[in-house]
Structure 1
């Protein structure tokens, strides 16, 4: 199953990606968007993960991390994914990845471009307009082989 894991720059330097809540094109998501094809559902899941990445950046102790949303697209075994029922704050397509994800399972890294940093920085502190602007920004696609260079770039940009 392709999952979209919300992440931060710190995750790019980790040896594996820790288990966490993620998003996927599940039957529950398809039921909400019956007019969408598989690709459209994947985009919706990645956008939900991008919003969740911003929420990770808003957590206490995250202020030293780069002001960019990061989504890790990975293919994991169905047995390592548990769908979380949509209720209240939980969106359709929300899943729990129950095992660490190895980097060789990663299909792509999706990362904000540098121009989005101001909006992400403001959104981290609760600015709703900035959150909407950040949500409208496209994420850039990176191959997993670019992970180390990207981690270094994001580390350097936040010094």
Structure 2
């Protein structure tokens, strides 16, 4: 089955659940991805640019999830295309809903603010999924 990249804004509690070996979310799980409303690869822009727009939307949403000056966290996951649905309301062009929980095994990376309270996307640090402990340590320092 084809895989689709999605971006999930996360909280510290979500990261701890992953560290405990649990999956993410209760369906429908809100996320961001390349949707028809965002654009079609090859017509307006390329797939990588569209994915970047979806990633930025997830970072913006992560801003609303944080408490005060916490660092934002976004996870990238590769999921079976069949569990990724575009909602009819289309309030955000990159909005998708995941019709199943997100297995820990499908998360490929984390993106975390370099400093607590950051708001831009230029300073988001990239961590491989195997570095979840490092991400948790970084958040604990704040």
TM-score interval, normalised by the smaller of the two chains: 0.7 to 0.9
Of 69-78 and 144-153, the range deviating more from structure 2? 144-153
Within-5 A mapping of 1:3-152: 3-14=6-17, 15-19=22-26, 20-30=29-39, 34-57=43-66, 62=67, 67-85=70-88, 87=90, 90-114=91-115, 117-119=116-118, 134-152=119-137
Of 134-143 and 74-83, the range deviating more from structure 2? 134-143
Greater share of residues in helix: 1
Runs of 4+ in 1 over 6 A off after TM superposition: none
CA–CA separation in structure 1 for the residues paired with 2:13 and 2:5? 22
* Normalised TM-score (structure 2): 0.82
* Normalised TM-score (structure 1): 0.74
Greater share of residues in strand: 2
Instruction: Say whether the 8 Å CA contact 2:78–2:108 is kept in structure 1.
Output: yes
Size of the aligned set, in residue pairs, is 132
Mind listing any 5+ residue stretches in structure 1 that lack a counterpart? 120-133
Mind listing any 5+ residue stretches in structure 2 that lack a counterpart? none
Alpha-carbon deviation of 1:135? 3.1
